[in-house]
Amino acid sequence: MLSRQPLIYGMEKIWIVDDEPSRRYPIYTRGNIGEVFPVVVSPLSWSLYGPAAELGWRDAFRDYGIYVDGDFGPQPTGIVGCFGGYGYLNISYVRVFAVRTPGLAVDDVDRMFFGESDAPPYQPKPGDKNLKASLRIARTLVKTLGTKSLPELEDDKRRVATYLAGRPPVDSAPDDALIASTVDFAGLFRHLFARHIMVTYMAFAARGLLAQICDQKLGDVALANKLLAGIGSVESAAPSFAMWELSRLPGGSAEFDADFERFLDEYGCRGPNEWEGSSETWGTKPGLALAAISCMRMASQENSPHAQQDRLAAKREQAVDDARRRLSRATRFQFDKALRASTVLSQGRERSKTTIVKAIHGNRLLQRELARRARDRGGPEALADMWLLTPDELPRYVESPAAFLSTIDARRERRQWLDSLVPPFVFEGTMPPPETWERRDAPSEVAKQGASLTGIAGCPGVARGRARVVLDPLDPRGLAPGDVLVAPITDPAWTPLFVPAGAVVVDVGAEMSHAIIVARELGIPAVVSVTGATRNIPDGALLEVDGDHGVVTVLEA
């Protein structure tokens, strides 16, 4: 028997930490946030990070000029929210960003952030337009195009280093000190997340202008992707380069062991679902990283990410030269500024995300120590079970874990049930009851020979290979060099699988999604937002992936 949930809008919550959806901005999407929280969120993680993310997003929007004090009134959440146990973004409010930004259309925002979806069309409402906000945004846009560097991101790195050095000693600190540090982390997270959102929207604006010039002045809307391929210094791709070097060393050798230890020191914070505190990372479970390295060992030197990047960079430089020659002097000036800003801000977006992940990992290690202590006092064997509790329950649990065993059992059962279902990609007003959601194991129509599936063009290039449908980055199912990786959604734990792949196809995603950014850095043709790809494309089918035009063709089923 599942435990009853609290009420929201007079109805029972689906999950213990579900939020109240906005009535003024009622449309929510899994787009974009699904990369950060791909599965049901834990009560502990969402309670710590969800409200802080909301406040950080509002801070960033105030700095950008978008946010108006009356937008949400006293409602504590609105831009982000947990509904049915899954993280969602408020597409209605992000569309207001488009409405208030000079020269920007709602369709641009939908495509850039959310990819292909069946979201209801935009319906104008009083208050969406705001002249003061538009003027503030215009000033931010001018500042954005002047971006040459982002020293504030280096400041944040130092801030996180100070935080990590100043944490209570894990082995000897009393319970209450570890709990207090865990809860207090929300303040640092808010600051870091605000910076990440600010850089993200600046990157969006710069890339938008670049794409506009490519489309209107050069007649090639896909050119923007080529101009941002192989730019270097993309921190979310850095682990793949390091893993590649490790894959060239004999496993078990002294050199490999030493280099692997250095790898864990630098990248141990990364792993599947890395924003979720209960998840294992490469640092807490090194076998996850070793499995990815083993997958790379099968690849030939042609798959080297260094060589791929060099080839892509050469093509990018040639594309830049060709574009500049075709532009007038005045437009070339705009083009140069938009390209430079897009490059710096694209790199900065991934850098700010990496800084957040390192900070989260520092907090995760404190939480894992609390979970270990609770286990020693009669708590559940699985450390991750502690994250099924809320921060208010945490002190009592650590002291007397046996009293919470039935609560944990009930929440685990409910989470497993929700995990077995596919939440709506978009909903309006109120989350539909889970009984109406599609099951993950439901049969689907298989694409036949000759079928073409369309999505959003990611990294340029055309590749052919056998489809390898992978649902879990920890189980690559025999992904061989040259295969087409077909994935539901990607986070950095998937990145090492990109290296041996000939191309990447992803169910969901958008033009600023992780899959596209990393594919561009590694030089792998990619198409995202191919709805139902993992369910419709037969494993082993021969595919052609056109990363220039966003088309996946089944050549042989």
Q: Is the pLDDT of residue 522 over 70?
A: yes
Give the C-alpha separation, 522 to 311, whole Å: 10
Q: Is the pLDDT of residue 468 over 90?
A: yes
The whole-number pLDDT of residue 469 equals 94
Q: If we measure between CA atoms, which residue out of 306, 391, 524, 351 comes closest to residue 44?
A: 391
Q: Is the pLDDT of residue 543 over 50?
A: yes
Q: Is the pLDDT of residue 9 over 70?
A: no
Average pLDDT over residues 163-169: 97
Q: If we measure between CA atoms, which residue out of 413, 412, 408, 410 comes closest to residue 394?
A: 408
The whole-number pLDDT of residue 115 equals 65
The model's pLDDT over 13-54, given as tens digits with 9 standing for 90+, comes to 999 999 999 999 999 999 888 888 989 999 999 999 999 999
Phi, psi angle pair for 311, to nearest 5°? -60, -45
Which residue type sits at 288?
L
Average pLDDT over residues 413-436: 95
The whole-number pLDDT of residue 5 equals 56
| Structure-token pair, residue 419 | 């995990």
The whole-number pLDDT of residue 2 equals 42
Output DSSP code: residue 117: -
The whole-number pLDDT of residue 529 equals 86
Q: Is the pLDDT of residue 513 over 90?
A: no
Q: Is the pLDDT of residue 4 over 60?
A: no
Give the C-alpha separation, 371 to 167, whole Å: 17
The model's pLDDT over 120-152, given as tens digits with 9 standing for 90+, comes to 999 999 999 999 999 999 999 999 999 999 999
Four-residue CA torsion sign, 29, 33, 35, 39:
negative
| Portion of the chain with pLDDT greater than 90, in percent | 71
Torsion, Cα 179 181 186 192, to 10 degrees, reads: -150
Give the C-alpha separation, 176 to 181, whole Å: 8
Q: If we measure between CA atoms, which residue out of 11, 5, 205 comes closest to residue 108?
A: 205
Average pLDDT over residues 100-104: 91
Confidence of residue 423 (pLDDT cuts 50, 70, 90): very high
Q: What is the mean pLDDT of the chain?
A: 92
For residue 526, give the H/E element and its range. strand 526-528
The whole-number pLDDT of residue 472 equals 84
When mean pLDDT is compared across 38-42, 229-233, 446-450, the lowest value belongs to 229-233
DSSP characters over 33-74: HHHHS-SPPPHHHHHHHHHHHHHHHHHHHHHHT---TTTTTT
Q: Is the pLDDT of residue 520 over 60?
A: yes
Spatial strand order of the sheet with 456-457 comes to 452-454, 551-556, 542-546, 462-469, 484-487, 503-506, 526-528, 456-457
| Portion of the chain with pLDDT greater than 70, in percent | 97
Output DSSP code: residue 12: E
Confidence of residue 392 (pLDDT cuts 50, 70, 90): very high
Exposed, middle or buried by CB within 10 Å (0-12, 13-18, 19+), for 24?
middle
Higher-confidence residue of 492 and 121: namely 121
Higher-confidence residue of 498 and 555: namely 555
When mean pLDDT is compared across 10-14, 19-23, 418-422, the lowest value belongs to 10-14
Q: Is the pLDDT of residue 426 over 80?
A: yes
Confidence of residue 491 (pLDDT cuts 50, 70, 90): confident
Confidence of residue 1 (pLDDT cuts 50, 70, 90): very low
The model's pLDDT over 356-373, given as tens digits with 9 standing for 90+, comes to 999 999 999 999 999 999
Pairing of strands 462-469, 484-487: parallel
How many angstroms separate the Cα of 237 from the Cα of each of 240, 303, 349, 440, 498?
A: 6, 14, 12, 30, 10
Average pLDDT over residues 324-338: 96
Average pLDDT over residues 513-520: 81
- Beta partners for 506? 487
Q: Which of 136-145, 234-243, 506-515 has the highest mean pLDDT?
A: 136-145
The whole-number pLDDT of residue 3 equals 45
pTM over 0.75: yes
Q: Is the pLDDT of residue 248 over 80?
A: yes
When mean pLDDT is compared across 43-47, 65-69, 354-358, 527-531, the lowest value belongs to 527-531
Phi, psi angle pair for 452, to nearest 5°? -120, 130
